Amino acid sequence: MSRSVFKVVAEPHPDRASRVEELKRLGFSWADIGEELYWLDQAVAMERSAYEELMNASASLWSVFDRAVRYLHGNRGFYPLIGIPPVLWDMIDGEPLPDEPLISRYARFDFAIDEEGSIKLLELNADTPTGYVEASIATPWVCAQTGLSTPNGEMASLVAAAWGEEQPDTAACVAYGEHLEDSGTIEAMVKHSGLDIHCRDCLELYVDDGQLMDGEGRNIRRMFALYPKEWMAVDDGGDALAYAIETGQLKLFNPPASILLQSKGLLAVVWGLYELGQLFTEQERETIERYMLPTYNRPVFEGDFVSKSMFGREGGSVRLFGPAGELELEDRDGYDTSVMFPSVYQKRAQLARIETSEGELHLLTGVFVINGKPCGLLGRAGGPITGNASQFIAIGVK
């Protein structure tokens, strides 16, 4: 067996409680969730050559997806094919696209990287990725103690640069103050922005004559929302929120067009255009061929494949099928959004397996793209499907 590009280093500290308290002081307050250990007190060392290729792949793929969205934007014949709810169409088309490469200023790629370093893109969360605190705060802290270098230290300054341009007056998430991860995420980003920004619960917000108001009666004009835009199609008041954006009374960040990047249906569009020899340059085609997986809106595979909702999150709706098309595994913990949105079908890829204090786990590698720049690694370890039950483990570079 060849040597893996990943190696787990360090053993868990005997005094976990004090380390959990230190992380809480830094802003990572969900290292333990009840009796469950979310944070694995170890680190994964990634070979530098593999890391450098991963960063180059991320930058190249970001350009590919930017080109694809500019091709789709305003072409409503594509919107149903990638699952975009009609209530969002006017909102998406009503604003000009941001300059390249800023359709989304806050995004995360998720990659399957096997032991030998083969890199395959699984998906892009270009709307509401979490894991920011784990990557920007906890990972540099762990890497400093384990002698690994980290690219993640730049994440805070890139958020400051992005938000300095966007100038949001409010940051919001659902169940602010109660949901530790989402609350901690927007609080960390507000802190890193250096701006005076109010944090609010999405559930306290309401629209009055096209104006978004908070529970104190304050008019919100510019908002960063850790709120999936596709939920406007199903939530009470979603159409009113879309109207506030359409009429220019609210600027939302990430901007409306980020949902075109967010849809996993875009993976199928990119792959289809690649197969047809359309749109992309020769260099972009080489990027697609090397780092993307065949993805379609129908299960046309003869071998192993995966199905997932175009707007599934945290592993919800993911199903793994075997060589004969038989269902092997599905995520029963996450919310199955495939009942509301269409699915895509993707060739399966192998995740590296790592030996941790919790046993052998599969490693999913995330790469944040902030203000248009790949800048941070996020490690999550768990089963073949990386869902809510997965654990965070820091990834550094050796």
In the chain, how long is the greatest CA-to-CA distance?
Answer: 65
Q: What's the pLDDT at 316?
A: 62
- Residues 39 and 41: their CA atoms lie apart, in Å, by 6
Q: What's the pLDDT at 303?
A: 84
Judge contact between 95 and 252, C-beta under 8 A: no
Q: Are strands 222-226 and 305-309 parallel, antiparallel or unpaired?
A: unpaired
Residue 110 DSSP SS3: strand
Element (H, E) at 108: strand 106-113
Q: What's the pLDDT at 392?
A: 98
Q: What's the pLDDT at 324?
A: 83
DSSP E strands, 280-371: 295-296, 305-309, 319-321, 327-330, 343-347, 352-356, 359-370
Residue 66 DSSP SS3: helix
Contacts 24+ apart (CB under 8 A), 231-238: 232/85, 232/87, 232/88, 233/85, 233/86, 233/87, 233/88, 233/340, 234/340, 237/206, 237/207, 238/87
**DSSP secondary structure, 134-180, as one string:** IIIIIHHHHHHHHT-B-SGGGHHHHHHHHHHHH--SEEEETTTTTSH
Give pLDDT < 50 ranges for the chain: 1
pTM (whole model) above 0.85: yes
Distance of CA 210 to the CA centre of its chain: 30
Q: Quick one: tokens of 190?
A: 């507000």
pLDDT tens-digit series, residues 29-38: 999 998 899 9
